[in-house]
Structure 1
Amino acid sequence: MSESLTIGGLAKAAGVHVETVRYYQRRGLLREPARPLNGIRRYAAADVSRLRFIKHAQESGFSLDEVNALLGMSGRPACRASRAVAAKKLEAIEERIRMLSRLRRGLRIWVAACDANTGDSCPALERLAR
């Protein structure tokens, strides 16, 4: 990979859109290189790595604020700190799964009630109105 990429090349190398790169720059997650006389900003391989890190962290469920905190961590103490962030995220995801499981059970009951209904009205909709 070239050591000097345009914003389009950076986006392509990291598998994101150019607007994503610009958004991350506005959020302070990714540096915005100086604009040289020819007006074309150049990015390095380290920028590709950082962009991939951001993308992978987001895919793991971290918010951009959490990603920003993770980006600031390095070294052995960072492992403990990142573990704490990950453990907190894991608990939030597990709570969300519990909530979604309750919703799924309720929706299954709803569907079954509709399937068994032989009347002119819908008991599930009537239950929502109460």
Structure 2
Amino acid sequence: MNPPGEADIARVRFIKSAQRLGFSLGEVAHLLELEEGTHCCDVRDLAQQKLVDVRTKLADLRRIEAALAALVRDCGERREAAPCPLIVSLQR
């Protein structure tokens, strides 16, 4: 087996960089098809959709964070005889 060449190393770097930005392997494969740089509009559209996805996930994470923070606070304030607020909320 031949050692990896510069082109192979550059391709792996490209893939890893795209994955760090949240692109799936399927999306990375599509980006590799567009890699020569003449399809900037297509790349922008793909990146725009990824940005929408990331913003949606961030909004979901903020909602989850707020709910968990409230439950943790409620758990800290509960009385011994009262049921755990987190467990109660999960049973609803």
Alignment match of 1:125 (pick from 52, 72, 87): 87
Larger Rg: 1
SS in 2 for 1:51: helix
Where structure 2 has 5 or more consecutive residues not aligned to the other structure, the ranges are: none
**Structure 1 stretches (4+) deviating beyond 3 angstroms?**
none
CA distance, structure 2, for counterparts of residue 106 and residue 49 of structure 1 = 43
CA shift, 1:43, in A, is 2.6
1:68 aligned residue: 29
Return the letter of the residue paired with 1:124. L
Q: Which amino acid aligns with 1:100?
A: L
Q: TM-score, length-normalised on structure 2?
A: 0.90
Task: Name the structure where helix makes up a greater proportion of residues.
Answer: 2
Among 41, 51, 54, the residue aligned to 1:80: 41
Match of 2:18 among 37, 48, 57: 57
Matched, 1:45 2:11: no
Tell me the percent identity: 36
The number of equivalent residue pairs is 90
Counterparts of 1:1-20 in structure 2 under 5 Å? none
Match of 2:77 among 103, 108, 116: 116
CA separation of 1:81/1:114 partners in 2, compared to 1, >3 Å: closer, same or farther? same
Q: Give the distance between the partners of 1:84 and 1:99, measured in 2 at CA.
A: 23
Which amino acid letter does the alignment assign opposite residue 75 of structure 1?
G
Instruction: Show structure 1 runs of 5+ residues with no match.
Output: 1-39
